[in-house]
Amino acid sequence: MIRVLVWNEFYHEQTKESVKAIYPDGIHSTIADFLKCDDIEVRTATLEDENCGITKEILDETDVLIWWGHARHHLVPDEVAALVRDAVHSGMGAIFLHSGHHSKPFKALMGTPCSLTWRESGDSELVWVTNPAHPITQGIDRFIHLPNEETYGEPVSSPNPDEVLFIGGYSGGEVFRSGCLFRRGNGQIFYFQPGHETFPTFHIPEVQTVIRNAVRYLVPRYRAEITCPHVRTWNDPEGYMIKK
């Protein structure tokens, strides 16, 4: 079983009727519901949980963490962001959705401000596939049509990704690197731009397909804390590892 933890700040759904109407049980519940299947088990956590529902033990038992946050990034303790960063370095997969670009754990993993240009005008968006052969883009035609989405535009001050899988183009003219892969330590991160809370983006089947594909792609094949071992030569009779 692939073990997924969906984290959501769960704020707009409780404070704005328009958002509650789209995600009555929270964005995390919607994502959990469409991910659950024979080989994916899903837990959820929110800002309301003790320690944000995140401990080292919980992350050790998580293959892929999904993160949605927007207005409450500052309430996530630095220690929680550090736990997520360290878990990715050891091999855990992580998916940061939409405004997760400004979350503490994403910025801790990127090391840059991760800012961008934005506008809430209800532009439509075409999310274009740039690599139709990649596992994350399987099941998607040339593009995903989003009738309405928050506009995100370049320049974005995150590091250049290892691979761009989607480029978004908006009716207002902007373009944006909408689906990006980053390798950090033993782990991989997928950033996916769609998902503004006032639009039903996570109910769109193609968006669900991309997130499901990303979960399967990011499952760790190797997981270990990164250390800096002092070693002997490969053929030393005492062995190449110097035990402490």
> Which residue from 150, 179, 194, 220 is in contact with Zn ion, where contact means CB under 5 A?
150
Min. distance of Cβ 18 from Zn ion in angstroms?
13
Of residues 85 and 104, the one with the C-beta less far from Zn ion: 104
What is the 3-state secondary structure of the chain? Answer: CEEEEEEECCCHHHHCHHHHHHCCCCHHHHHHHHHCECCEEEEEEECCCHHHHCCHHHHHCCCEEEEECCCCHHHCCHHHHHHHHHHHHHCCEEEEEHHHHHCHHHHHHHCCCCCCEEECCCCCEEEEECCCCCHHHCCCCCEEEECCCCEEECCCCCCCCCEEEEEEEECCCCEEEEEEEEEECCEEEEEECCCCCCCCHHHCHHHHHHHHHHHHHHCCCCCCCCCCCCECCCCCCCCCECCC
Min. distance of Cβ 83 from Zn ion in angstroms?
25
- The yes or no reply on residue 201 touching Zn ion (CB under 5 A) is no
Of residues 9 and 86, the one with the C-beta less far from Zn ion: 9
Of residues 98 and 104, the one with the C-beta less far from Zn ion: 98
CB 89 within 8 A of CB 184: yes
Task: Return the amino acid letter for 216.
Answer: R
Stretch that binds Zn ion, among 26-34, 97-105, 124-132, 225-233 (CB under 5 A): 97-105
Of residues 85 and 101, the one with the C-beta less far from Zn ion: 101
Please give the size of the binding site for Zn ion, defined by CB under 5 A: 3
- The yes or no reply on residue 99 touching Zn ion (CB under 5 A) is yes
> Which residue from 28, 85, 107, 196 is in contact with Zn ion, where contact means CB under 5 A?
196
Which residues from 151-190 bind Zn ion, rule CB under 5 A?
none
Of residues 177 and 196, the one with the C-beta less far from Zn ion: 196
Of residues 15 and 51, the one with the C-beta less far from Zn ion: 15
- The yes or no reply on residue 73 touching Zn ion (CB under 5 A) is no
Q: Which residue's C-beta sits nearest to Zn ion?
A: 196
Binding interface with Zn ion (CB under 5 A): 99, 150, 196
